[in-house]
Amino acid sequence: LNPYNLSRRELLIAGGGIAVTNLSIPALAVETTPDKLGKDLIFRTTDPRNGEPELSNLVKSWVTPTKHFYVRSHAPNPQIDVNKFSLTVEGKVRTPLTLTMNQLSQLPRHHLTATLTCAGNRRVEFNSEGKVGGVQWAAGPIGNAKWSGFALADVLKKAEILEEARHVWFEGLDEIQRTNVVIPFGGSIPIEKAMITGPIPGAVLADQMNEQPLSPDHGYPLRTIVPGYVGARSVKWLGKIVVSDKPSPNHYLAAAYKLVKKTDPIDWTESGPIYRYPINGAIATPDAGTVVPAGRLDISGYVLPTGLRDSRAQRIEISTDNGINWTVAKTTGQDSAFCWQLWNARVKVTSRTNSLIMRAFDSSGGFMPQRVPWNAKGYLQNSWYRLPITVS
Ligand code: MTE
């Protein structure tokens, strides 16, 4: 991964780091070529498309460029002709609606920046206690993007929801092959969240990401964005909204995306759907397994506070001695509701250091615990992030 054949010293300088004598390891910018859909990701599966960025690319900017924004899809991208596209709104409403993109565009437009994260972020870390199912994600299925679209609450007001409305279902236009049936991806959110208005609505029907129309990987022409909730609630290729007195019966709300010990029917029924995400974070540079000289080392990463409007990253700490002493990291990104924070720190490593550990706390009482209980699907892994390194 040294395309210009530079010496290690030249690489250190080219990477913007402080030269060898300062014992600092920079994040080397490795430019790779995007695929035909413009993605520069490590694909865990290609059919369907499931890819996450290299962590050093992920933390280069507070707003994640679309090429480095993870993709999580359960089926191939559906081909949608926007001229024939319409969104239907039905169920417990006085006025069912069928809205074209032009009709949706008559509603007030909202712009917001929000982080999207997969509930399976950092799943591979569970495998040491027993292999977990699902896409084998490291710490990359997370990204912070600028979204633009229409408040779900405005659409629901137009449809005039009935007194008994409790949940809002979303249904995608994708076709997921399960054992004997083909189903769309779907889910729901509570009506209280759906009806939040203001600059950051409870949910947005987004048609733009990073100031461009959504790409096919991210749900073109329309998707939901639900700030504060795990990515699974932000349904891509949105085709239908149903207002109901019950949560969605779709597999991805009724069964999947739950914390269960075993894939046993009792566990599934006892456990509720995951909505809000807990605080999480990771060290993004240097790479795992890096060999560094003893001395000072610059490291960087991200932290996403609990998915609540007022929650902010409060203290990010790094340990080089297995959790005995902690150094406080500096935040470097913007401090915004429902967004991650980037951070960096300079720590001292010695010949006894075999890993770097990161943990964080937020203003709503959230913290990354030392351990989290194993669950069969490997969701919500937010324990202390441990990065193995070798000090030469
Ligand atoms: N929506 C549809 N229709 N189909 C999907 O497979 N995956 C969900 C969600 N919405 C999915 C979907 C999951 S699990 C996540 S984490 C996010 O989309 C990922 O969004 P992204 O691919 O735009 O990053």
What would the pLDDT profile of 93-116 be if each residue is shown by its tens digit? 999 999 999 999 999 999 999 999
Mutational pocket test of ligand 1: of 147, 234, 248, 275, the residue with most ligand atoms within 8 Å of the beta carbon: 234
Q: Name the average pLDDT for the chain.
A: 92
Contacts of 179 (CB under 8 A, 6+ apart): none
Omega before 184 cis (within 30°)? no
Q: Is the dihedral of CA 120, 124, 125, 126 positive or negative?
A: positive
The answer for residues whose C-beta is within 8 angstroms of residue 379's C-beta and 6 or more apart is 119, 120, 123, 230, 257, 258, 259, 274
Residue 347 is inside which H or E element, if any? Answer: strand 341-349
pLDDT at 88: 98
CA-nearest residue for atom 8, ligand 1, is 232
Q: How confident is the model at residue 313 (pLDDT cuts 50, 70, 90)?
A: very high
Task: Say what the alpha-carbon torsion angle 270, 273, 278, 283 is, to the nearest 10 degrees.
Answer: 100
Rounded Cα–Cα distance for residues 45 and 210 (Å): 25
Task: Enumerate residues 6+ apart whose C-beta is below 8 A from 111.
Answer: 146, 147, 148
Mean pLDDT of the region 160-171: 98
Ligand 1 centroid–CA 244 distance in Å is: 22
Comparing C-alpha atoms, which of 347, 371, 368, 350 is closest to residue 359? Answer: 368
pLDDT of residue 264: 79
Q: Whose CA is nearest to atom 11 of ligand 1?
A: 73
User: What band does 14 get if pLDDT is binned at 50, 70 and 90?
Assistant: very low
Identify the residue whose C-alpha is closest to ligand 1 atom 23: 218
Q: What is the pTM of this model?
A: 0.92
pLDDT bin (cut points 50, 70, 90) of residue 268 is confident
Element (H, E) at 331: strand 330-331
| Dihedral-angle region of residue 235 (phi above 0 means left; psi in -120 to 50 means alpha; beta otherwise) | beta
Q: Mean of the pLDDT values across residues 188-210?
A: 98
Which amino acid is it at 51?
G
Among candidate residues 243, 241, 95, 92, the one with its CA nearest the CA of residue 162: 92
Q: What is the pLDDT of residue 31?
A: 61
Protein residues whose CB sits closer than 6 Å to any atom of ligand 1: 69-74, 116, 118, 172, 174, 185, 218, 231-232, 234-237
Does residue 8 carry a pLDDT above 80? no
Mode of pairing for the β-strands spanning 87-91 and 238-244:
parallel
Token pair 């269960």 is at which residue?
A: 260
pLDDT of residue 15: 32
- The whole-number pLDDT of residue 33 equals 82
Atom index in ligand 1 nearest the CA of residue 173 equals 3
pLDDT over threshold 60, residue 289: yes
345 strand-pairing partners = 299
Mean pLDDT of 268-290: 96
